[in-house]
Amino acid sequence: MKVICIVQARVGSSRLPGKVLKVICGKTVLQHVAERLRRVKNIDELIIATTELDADDQIIDECLKLNIKYFRGSEKNVLSRYYLAAKENQADIVVRVTSDCPLIDPKTVEKIIDCYLTNHNIYDYVSNTIDRTFPRGLDAEVFSFASLQRSFISASKEYEREHVTPYIYQHLDEFKIFQYKNKIDYSDFRWTLDTEEDFQVIRIIYEALYEKKQEFDFADILDFVQKNEYINAINKDIRQKKLGE
């Protein structure tokens, strides 16, 4: 089965415009995301799915610079963007990651994919995003192309098409889902990039860890932030947007 990781990326952002092209330790956020995902052994191909807007030519320029395959599709109908990107590249299994996760953990993603592959005859969808035990920003969803296709055909609500997977995990009569959980709940940590406060947190982590160990992982980050409690306080009051907002 061909496993394709599709990363949605665009320069438009209501709270932090251009966030995926912000530079940390000499590299863009998008480059950091791509480099970390390239370390995931059970991903066969990485694709950046951006929009057809002129503004997102910047994303294409970055993809060309980094030698990453890209796909252009609808700005708001991200479900169609994912479906058409997966179809064009003959995906059997789709891994969904967003470009605002520059601390995405390769080991965690690899384990979630392994969980899906081991149980693909039982589950249509495996993720760590619904019943959260991992820090926000280590999010990964894995599902079959057949499930994506069914969602593309059936999803009718605007938020179902904007956020790609709600149709799957909100229709338990049609899909069997599984939540991959950590033994300890670290969901109170916020390591995603949506606001200036988030950027401060991620920049501090990178500047502390990246020069010594470019392949730093979840355990390294956790150890650092637990020893420096002020970091978590920087963005602890940021509210994540809800579906439909």
Residues 53-110 have pLDDT tens digits of: 999 999 999 999 999 999 999 999 999 999 999 999 999 999 999 999 999 999 999 9
Instruction: Extract the residue ranges of the chain whose pLDDT is less than 70.
Output: 241-245
| 55 conformational bin, left if phi > 0, alpha if psi -120 to 50, beta if neither | alpha
CA–CA dist 24, 206 (Å, integer): 7
| Residues in a beta bridge with 3 | 93
Q: In this structure, what token pair is assigned to residue 87?
A: 């179809």
- For residue 158, give both structure tokens: 């605007």
Phi-psi region of 26 (alpha: psi -120 to 50; beta: other; left: phi over 0): left
Q: Sign (positive/negative) of CA torsion 97, 102, 105, 110?
A: positive
pLDDT at 243: 63
Phi, psi of 223 (to 5 degrees): -60, -45
Q: For residue 125, what are the β-bridge partners?
A: 143, 177
**Which residues 6+ apart lie within 8 Å of 137 measured at CB?**
100, 101, 102, 103, 104, 189, 190, 191, 192, 193
Is the pTM higher than 0.85? The answer reads yes
Could you give the CA distance from residue 111 to residue 36 in angstroms, rounded to a whole number?
Answer: 14
List C-alpha distances in Å: 203 to 5, 24, 167, 207.
25, 6, 34, 6
Domains of the chain: 3-188 (3.90.550.10)
Instruction: Determine phi and psi for 214, rounding to 5 degrees.
Output: -60, -30
Taking alpha carbons only, the member of 24, 74, 33 closest to residue 204 is 24
Sequence-ordered strand ranges (E) for the chain: 3-8, 23-24, 27-28, 45-51, 69-73, 93-98, 125-127, 141-144, 177-179
